[in-house]
Structure 1
Amino acid sequence: MRIGIDQIGFYTPNKYVDMVDLAHARGEDPNKFLIGIGQRQMSVADKTQDAVSMGINATLRYLDQIDKDKVGLLIFGTESSVDQSKSASLFVKSALHLRPEVRTFEVKEACFGLTAALMTARDFVRVHPDQTAIVIGSDIARYGVKTPGEVTQGAGSISLLVKSEPRILSLNDGHSAYSEDINDFWRPNDSAVAKVDGKYSTQVYLDFFKKTFDAYKEQKDWSTRDFSALIYHLPFTKQGLKANRLAIEDQDDVTKDRLSETFEASKQLSMRVGNIYTASLYMSLLSLLENYDLEPNSLIGLFSYGSGAMAEFFSGNVVDGYKEWINPKGDAALLDDRQRLTVEEYEKVFTEALEPVANNREFTSDERQGVWYFAGVKNDIRQYRQV
């Protein structure tokens, strides 16, 4: 029995800042951001968009194409949680009108959260082949205005439907994992922005990639040339490029060219959205599927990394006809319809979104019709509504 990804939903807020504008405002050469970091645009979440609302909106992108009565599990992976106790998935479950029998919870391990959710969902479907699972990664990456990490911020969500006999990507058995207790990136409970040791985090990321990729190939008795594509968690696209160069450095020209081309396809969405933490790897997957023509059964290698640190390498095979189940035009429209903020507007929106929300305060949203948003707090309870 094959188990894997049957649907992919993508959402990002309706505002962005351009990296050239940001570079000029910060007195930097734009190529430092465009080439040195590998980013063109960065989605910006205002005070009405949070992890929950984005997760709802990502799932709505495919909800009318599935049988909701078959959903038996809902897992929400995030490091932008809205409550210290209540799972973000319960807000989503309510908004989507899923059955009360659905098992639902939230998971956290930095940017590894959605991968943890996906693997749990795969095992759930293996035991319950007549049921499906929804797994969501949703995050707002915040480092602060005029900080070294500012250019690697972003906001967005990816939602996946996991089922038997999937129509997009069939997951293979086995994985390689590696973890260590380190401090390359973290966010204390009393901080609205992340703490990061950028150079150290890059070093650990590459080290963990090499360890897990080599171990996985040995486990499966595969070589690098067996992969049609390698995709990565992309906190910024230059990070993935460095890992990809490690992967192909000793390969033949055909393999180098193929894996370079597929990496370019996989980074297109990230270049325009920025860092979305738990969902970043799966935005890379969606970008690859939308921007490259893959043959049926093409082998895709996936590298997941969460600071702190946890890494995993696994793989899947593309299902014949996958193009019918993705929506590149809709995803392009989502990005093209965003409002371009000036740097001054971006700084104002960013700062307002960090402010604590007073009890019994209500918000309205300028999002497009049908989009869910955080509507404020009433009697200490978060409120979510649809435009």
Structure 2
Amino acid sequence: MEIGIDKIGFYAPHMYLDMNKLAVERNVEPEKFTIGIGQEKMAIAPITQDSVTLAANAALNILDEEDKEKIDFVLFGTETGIDHSKSGAVYVHRLLGINPNARAVEVKQACYGATAAIQMAKGHIALNPESKVLVLGSDIARYGLKTGGEATQGAGAVAMVISAEPRVMRFEGPSAFYSDDIMDFWRPVYSDKAMVDGKFSNEQYISFFTKVWKQYKEKAGLSLEDFEAICFHLPYTKMGKKALRAVIEEASQSVQERLMDNYQVSTEYNRNVGNIYTGSLYLSLLSLLEEKEDLADGSLIGLFSYGSGAVGEFFAGRLQPNYRDHLFTEKHDELFGTRKEISVEEYENMFEETLPSDGSSIELDIDADPAPICLSGIKEHSRQYVNKQRDVSTLSGGDSR
């Protein structure tokens, strides 16, 4: 049975910050951001967007009524969840009107969460071939103003429908994975900002990639020559390039050039959105699929997932016949084309605007947010979500009125 990605889409907030302008404001040479780490724009989430709404908006763009009926498992990968108990998947399940006879679960292991969800989805589909699984990777990356990690922030979500007989990509061959208990990046439960040992994290990312790549070659009997491209988890777009360089000399000159050229294409979306944690690898994949017009059916694509703390995995997928007919490129082009640039001052004010942490109620202005699904406030400790397309009035967390 072939199992893989039947649909894939993403959503990013409607505002962005130009990294050149942030660099000037921070008294940094702009090239440090645009070339050194490879970032052009940073998506900025208004207070009316959180990991739940970003995920729901990403899925809303790709699901039809048949999907909603056949989906019986919603898996939500995130490291910026909004509740210590209730999963983000449950909120998304209700906001989208998915079949009630479904499981809904949140998966956490830093940026690896969506990949773990995909592996769980594969097992579910193998046992239930008629089912579909909605996998979500949604996050808002926050390190703090004027911190070392500020330039690698971002916000967005990727949604994927995993099914049998997929139309975009089928997963192929074994996976190689590796775990180790390290402290390269983490976010304690009392903090809304991440903590990171940047140099150590970069070193571990490359180390994990070389370990799982070596293991994968032995398991699959494949080499770099067999891959048309390799997509990476991208906390910033230069990170994957550093890892690829660690193994690239295994290949001929022509293969090296092909992999590096295709790597550059795969970074286009990420360099204009920023770090979206669990969704970053799959945003990279989407960029490759939608931006490289001559990417042939049947191409084998490598995928490296890394979640700090740490878990790494390398696996692969093969593009299906006429896969391009099942992408949502026009919607994504429209999303990028309608975004609004904000100033550094506006960004700083928005960053400091946070939801109450003392149980207070609040009403938010969702009219200023063009997203179909928004956070409209907090009432009695419960986040209120609205799906504008269904003309639903403000709802309490799990209420289905």
TM-score normalised to the size of structure 2?
Answer: 0.94
Q: 1:199-348 counterparts in 2 under 5 A?
A: 199-292=199-292, 293-348=294-349
Q: Please give the secondary structure, in 1, of the residue aligned with 2:272.
A: helix
Q: CA deviation at 1:367?
A: 2.1
Q: CA deviation at 1:249?
A: 2.4
CA contact (8 A) 2:48 2:369 kept: no
Distance 2:60 2:106 in 1: 19
Q: CA deviation at 1:219?
A: 0.6
Aligned residues: 386
CA contact (8 A) 1:357 1:376 kept: no
Q: CA deviation at 1:216?
A: 0.3
Distance 2:233 2:89 in 1: 23
2:129 is matched with 129
Q: CA deviation at 1:64?
A: 2.1
Stretches of 4+ aligned residues off by more than 3 angstroms: 353-358
1:367 is matched with 369
Q: Which amino acid aligns with 1:54?
A: L
Of 92-101 and 307-316, the range deviating more from structure 2: 92-101
CA contact (8 A) 1:192 1:354 kept: no
Q: CA deviation at 1:66?
A: 4.0
Distance 1:376 1:76 in 2: 22
Q: Please give the secondary structure, in 2, of the residue aligned with 1:274.
A: coil
CA contact (8 A) 1:77 1:108 kept: yes
Q: Which amino acid aligns with 1:362?
A: E
TM-score normalised to the size of structure 1?
Answer: 0.97
Q: Which amino acid aligns with 1:237?
A: T
Q: Which amino acid aligns with 1:363?
A: L
1:196 is matched with 196
Q: Please list the CA deviations of residues 266-315 of structure 1 after superposition, one character each: whole Å capped at 9, or x if unmatched.
A: 00000000000000000000000011122121111100000000000000
Q: Please list the CA deviations of residues 192-249 of structure 1 after superposition, one character each: whole Å capped at 9, or x if unmatched.
A: 1000000000000000000001110111111111111111000000101111222312
Q: Which amino acid aligns with 2:197?
A: D
Distance 2:140 2:66 in 1: 27
1:110 is matched with 110
2:164 is matched with 164
2:398 is matched with none
Q: Check 1:354–1:258 CA distance in 2 against 1; reply closer, same or farther (3 A cut).
A: farther
Q: Please give the secondary structure, in 2, of the residue aligned with 1:95.
A: helix
Q: Please give the secondary structure, in 2, of the residue aligned with 1:130.
A: coil
Q: CA deviation at 1:386?
A: 3.0
Of 11-20 and 62-71, the range deviating more from structure 2: 62-71
Distance 2:363 2:240 in 1: 40
Q: Which amino acid aligns with 2:97?
A: H
Distance 2:359 2:226 in 1: 55
Q: Please give the secondary structure, in 2, of the residue aligned with 1:67.
A: helix
CA contact (8 A) 1:45 1:353 kept: no
Q: Check 1:35–1:66 CA distance in 2 against 1; reply closer, same or farther (3 A cut).
A: farther
Q: Which amino acid aligns with 2:139?
A: D
CA contact (8 A) 1:76 1:105 kept: yes
Q: CA deviation at 1:354?
A: 6.3
CA contact (8 A) 1:9 1:60 kept: no
Distance 2:247 2:334 in 1: 33
Q: Which amino acid aligns with 1:189?
A: V
Q: Please give the secondary structure, in 1, of the residue aligned with 2:353.
A: helix
CA contact (8 A) 1:46 1:353 kept: no
Q: Please give the secondary structure, in 2, of the residue aligned with 1:158.
A: strand
Of 322-331 and 55-64, the range deviating more from structure 2: 322-331
Q: Which amino acid aligns with 1:297?
A: G
Q: Which amino acid aligns with 2:131?
A: Q
1:187 is matched with 187
Distance 1:18 1:357 in 2: 34
Q: Please give the secondary structure, in 1, of the residue aligned with 2:137.
A: strand
CA contact (8 A) 2:304 2:314 kept: yes
Q: CA deviation at 1:357?
A: 7.2
Of 290-299 and 100-109, the range deviating more from structure 2: 290-299
1:385 is matched with 386
Q: Check 1:344–1:358 CA distance in 2 against 1; reply closer, same or farther (3 A cut).
A: farther
Q: Which amino acid aligns with 1:318?
A: L
Q: Check 1:2–1:322 CA distance in 2 against 1; reply closer, same or farther (3 A cut).
A: same
Of 25-34 and 238-247, the range deviating more from structure 2: 238-247
Q: CA deviation at 1:173?
A: 3.5
Distance 1:188 1:80 in 2: 11
CA contact (8 A) 2:178 2:211 kept: yes
Q: Please give the secondary structure, in 2, of the residue aligned with 1:273.
A: coil
Distance 1:336 1:199 in 2: 35
Task: Provide structure 1 residue ranges, at least 5 long, that are not aligned to the other structure.
Answer: none
CA contact (8 A) 2:173 2:220 kept: no
Identity of aligned residues (%): 45
Q: Please list the CA deviations of residues 23-43 of structure 1 after superposition, one character each: whole Å capped at 9, or x if unmatched.
A: 000011100000001000000
Q: Please give the secondary structure, in 1, of the residue aligned with 2:76.
A: strand
Task: Provide structure 2 residue ranges, at least 5 long, that are not aligned to the other structure.
Answer: 389-401
Q: CA deviation at 1:358?
A: 5.0
1:177 is matched with 177
CA contact (8 A) 1:357 1:377 kept: no
